[in-house]
Structure formats: C-alpha cells, structure tokens
Chains A and B, each alone.
Chain A
C-alpha cells in the first residue's frame, strides 16, 4: 500500500502554518502505511553561495557542534546548524560536493538525508503520528512539503528504506506502488555514476530523475522519459526547490486525489487525508489522469497538466 501526501502553498500567508496543516494529512494515511514515515519540507532557503544539508546520527546526543567546528576549520568557511531530535540541519558557505565529501570522510556514521538550498528531509521507522511528534512537524514553516507513510513490500522496514528519497539537490520523491525493473535500472544508473544507498525500488526512481535532470531534461521531460522507462505500479510525487509534481503510471493502479483552492494545491492517496484543510469543502477535487504529468512550480504557476 503506502500513503502519499503533498501540500503546495499558493498563498504565502499560510507558510507559517504549513506544519500544522500538513501533520494531520500525514497521520490520516497511517492505515495505508504504519511501518515508517517521512517528509521533505521546503523553505528557509539559504543564499546562492551556501548550501543546506540534513544530517542524521543514530545517537540523539551526538555532538553536532563538534562536527560543525570541524567543517568550519577544514573548509575555512562559516557553518550554522540547528538540531531536531537525531537530525541536524547544517547551513554551510560551500558547495554540496565539498561539504558532502568532507562529512562522509570525517564521520561515516553520519547519514546525509538531503542536500540543496531549500530541502530538509526527516524520516524514521514507526507510526506517522510518532514521527510527526519526534520532529515537531506541527511547528514547521515552509512553502511546500511532501510526505509518505510506508507499508513495505519491496525491501525491509528500515530508516534508510523510508521515503522521501533524495538523490539530487533539492529533489526528492515519494512513491506508492512497486517497480518491477528496479534491479536492472539500478545497475544501469550505477554505470552512469548515480550513487545508491539501499536496495529500495523507489530510490532507483529518484536516481533515474537525478540522472535525467543531469542530462539536461526539464522536470517534465525527465518524468516523460520515466513514463517510458519505469516498469511497475506507481503514483509518484516529486518535490523540487520551486514546487511539486504528480504522476501516475498508465494503468493508474495506485490511487491519487488532488485538491486546489486559491490558497493551495494538495495531493493525497485518499481524500480522507485532505479533509482537515481549510476550505476543502469548496475546493476543486479531482483524480489525476493516468500517464499525465501535473506540475506546480513558482516558475510555472499555471499548474495544470504540463
């Protein structure tokens, strides 16, 4: 099964409330995915000269300050960080490659969950409600957010196998369904230099999009190519720095509902997850068509099938 939820705010006045609006959406999908949950929130963007990393250490008492000063010394640059449970968000005046290389070399036990200028990914094994509490999702601010509740089918229930998956800067993916050709595709993508952390099928789809975008595809073109190359059942929601996209496989086995008002666009596996949103009674509610790409981005405000 699995549940997917996404919320993209058109009205900036709601940005301070995104966590409060989104947490009940994630929790509403517990029946579809009680194994693990996670979300990617976009906002609190750093400047073009800086980057933001979400880092995780299994020990909640891990000395992040020590890591921050080591990074400052070695890169000779300023580092700011804040801790959220066993995760820390580092803001570094550097580029992603240098910072990532340094951190993985210095502290291999620290796992990088996301990298970019806007994205922060938080995910854990357990019930969505517990995960929302662990990371104080309710209090978060941002422009858009996508989340996932997992019922594992293709690989083990682990934090690493939880969604969202991110293999590129500010790009992440959540998935309901299963890919049949992920093993072969993973091998092909590895040969093209894409790095994978797990044996999970969804990570392969994220890696595929990273590869296509690197090759110069727009998000829309990357997803068009994905429709040709992915074999399996999928409803995907993709987060980007500027917005989000939704696509279903041509057979549309996995559910998806979209709702739009003047204030937001919301996506969920089931309408149940949308019922707590303000003004949902009068929202335009519809199901995305199979094999059709829907994109909402600040640079592409029209929104409709791209």
Chain B
C-alpha cells in the first residue's frame, strides 16, 4: 500500500503515480490524504488499482475512470466520475452537481445525496444513490441505470433516451417525455442486482421505474418548429 499526501506534493504527482500503473502495475492499493477539496484527484486512471481518498474531494474526482476502484471517504465536488468507462467509484458522503455525467460504464455509488443533474447524458454506467438526487437528474441520459433510494428533484429524466431510472421515494416532477413505467420481473432482477452491488439493503419492491415515453427523440413533424 502506498500513501500519497497531497498537502506534501501535488495532485499532478499523485495522478502521475497512478497513471504509471497503467504501463506496469507495481502497486495495487493507494491511500490519498489531505485532499482538501483539490480538483481532478485520481482522474484518467487505467489500471486495476484501489484508491482511497480520505477527506473531501473537489471537482472532477475520478473522472474518466477505467478499471480502477476509487473510494472517497468524504464528499465530492461537481463532475464526480465524469465520463467513467469502467471500474467503480464510491463516495461515502454527498456528491455535488453532475455526478456520473456522460459515464459510459462502471458503477458509481453515492452513500449520501447527489446534487443536481446526477447522471446527465449518462451513456451506459450504473449509478446508485443512497440518498436523494437534485433537479434535472438523468437529463438527456441515453443508456445505463440510475437508482435513487431517496427522493428525486424536479424534472427527473427530462428529454430521456434509454436510461432506466428506479426511485424509491418521491419524485418532485418528471421532465419532458419521462414517464412512470411498469416494473416487470426483468427490472426487479436488474434492480436487485444493482442494490446488491452497491451494498444497500433497500427492498426492490419499494421502487418505481421511470423511463422514456419515446415521444420526443424520434423525429416527428409535430415536434418541429
């Protein structure tokens, strides 16, 4: 296990040490101390390493993650795990706006609440949030899933494509073309598996499913100006 103190070095040095593991993996476990809200911590990883960040992280933490497993023992700023490709990212506290934005793959788990636009333009990753998500979550989300164990804010799933959304609590309002859908057996199976992977013991039967009505994203002359 290698410990890197950001206060004694820099984020650039940390990220370089982590990127070096892509060429030749010599160290599987990294501990990061004194993040103090710094931006871009553990971005662009491309190796099967575990990174534990002790404290609050700033913008774009674990962005573009591939293969690595990153845990933030604190809160994370805007753009957490943005454009993640694979691997997993977990935040023990809350995440700010645009968590998991454009993420293609992998698993993002937020134990606390996520801010606005969680999973905006999601492209295939799975996001599980233990608490609430803010407004405009899954805006224009294309693929993947969002599971919310708490409540969802305004305009959930606005202009949604094919992302599936499961919410246990209330939904303040649904965005354009987002509708509640029947929870079929395959969805319960999928949700059960996601909750298991995230380590949450919520009952899948308590959730509702939301998805695209598919009225907006196909070209229709009625939608044109």
Q: Which of A275, A281, A287, A290 contacts B37 (CB 8 A)?
A: A275
Interface string of A269-280 (1 = CB under 8 A from B): 011111100000
Q: Which of B55, B93, B94, B116 contacts A252 (CB 8 A)?
A: B116
Residues of B within 8 A of A271 (CB): 36-37, 56, 58, 75, 77
Task: Confirm or deny: A255 has a beta carbon within 8 angstroms of a beta carbon on chain B.
Answer: yes
B102: shortest Cβ distance to chain A, in Å?
Answer: 18
Residues of B within 8 A of A68 (CB): none
Task: Confirm or deny: A213 has a beta carbon within 8 angstroms of a beta carbon on chain B.
Answer: no
Task: Confirm or deny: A286 has a beta carbon within 8 angstroms of a beta carbon on chain B.
Answer: yes
Interface string of B87-109 (1 = CB under 8 A from A): 00000011011000000000000
Interface residues on B, range: 20 to 34
Interface string of A240-258 (1 = CB under 8 A from B): 0000000000011001000
Q: Which of A270, A285, A290 contacts B116 (CB 8 A)?
A: A290
Known: A255-B78, A255-B96, A285-B75. A272 touches B58 (CB 8 A): yes
Residues of A within 8 A of B56 (CB): 271, 285
Residues of A within 8 A of B36 (CB): 271-272, 275
A272 with B94: CB separation less than 8 A: no
CA distance A275 to B115 in the complex (A): 21
Residues of B within 8 A of A286 (CB): 94
Residues in A261-306 with C-beta less than 8 Å from chain B: 270-275, 281, 285-287, 290
A299: shortest Cβ distance to chain B, in Å?
Answer: 30
Residues in B72-94 with C-beta less than 8 Å from chain A: 75, 77-78, 93-94
Residues of B within 8 A of A274 (CB): 37
CA distance A286 to B97 in the complex (A): 12
Residues of B within 8 A of A273 (CB): 37
Residues of A within 8 A of B77 (CB): 255, 270-271
CA distance A197 to B136 in the complex (A): 38
CA distance A287 to B93 in the complex (A): 12
Task: Confirm or deny: B164 has a beta carbon within 8 angstroms of a beta carbon on chain A.
Answer: no
CA distance A287 to B134 in the complex (A): 11
Task: Confirm or deny: B38 has a beta carbon within 8 angstroms of a beta carbon on chain A.
Answer: yes
CA distance A281 to B33 in the complex (A): 13
A252 with B37: CB separation less than 8 A: no
Task: Confirm or deny: B209 has a beta carbon within 8 angstroms of a beta carbon on chain A.
Answer: no
B52: shortest Cβ distance to chain A, in Å?
Answer: 16
B73: shortest Cβ distance to chain A, in Å?
Answer: 12
B64: shortest Cβ distance to chain A, in Å?
Answer: 21
Task: Confirm or deny: B135 has a beta carbon within 8 angstroms of a beta carbon on chain A.
Answer: yes
Interface string of A134-178 (1 = CB under 8 A from B): 000000000000000000000000000000000000000000000
Interface string of B32-43 (1 = CB under 8 A from A): 000011110000
B135 with A290: CB separation less than 8 A: yes
A286: shortest Cβ distance to chain B, in Å?
Answer: 7
Interface string of A49-88 (1 = CB under 8 A from B): 0000000000000000000000000000000000000000
B80: shortest Cβ distance to chain A, in Å?
Answer: 13
Minimum CB distance partner of B78 in chain A: A255
Looking at A255, A271, A285, A287, the one whose CB has the most chain B CB atoms below 10 A away is A271
Residues of A within 8 A of B39 (CB): 272
Minimum CB distance partner of B55 in chain A: A281
Residues of A within 8 A of B116 (CB): 251-252, 290
Residues of B within 8 A of A252 (CB): 97, 115-116, 134-135
Interface string of B190-207 (1 = CB under 8 A from A): 000000000000000000
CA distance A285 to B93 in the complex (A): 10
CA distance A296 to B40 in the complex (A): 33
Residues of B within 8 A of A287 (CB): 94, 96, 115
Interface string of A188-224 (1 = CB under 8 A from B): 0000000000000000000000000000000000000
CA distance A165 to B59 in the complex (A): 29
B137: shortest Cβ distance to chain A, in Å?
Answer: 13
Residues in B102-150 with C-beta less than 8 Å from chain A: 115-116, 134-136
Residues in A28-59 with C-beta less than 8 Å from chain B: none
Minimum CB distance partner of A281 in chain B: B55
3 smallest CB-CB distances across A and B, nearest first, come from A271-B37, A272-B37, A275-B36
Interface residues of B (CB under 8 A from A): 36-39, 55-56, 58-59, 75, 77-78, 93-94, 96-97, 115-116, 134-136
Interface residues of A (CB under 8 A from B): 251-252, 255, 270-275, 281, 285-287, 290
Q: List 9 A-B contacts (CB under 8 A).
A: A252-B115, A252-B135, A255-B78, A255-B97, A270-B37, A271-B37, A272-B37, A272-B39, A275-B36
Beyond known contacts A252-B97, A271-B37, A271-B58: 4 more, CB 8 A cutoff: A270-B77, A271-B36, A281-B55, A285-B93
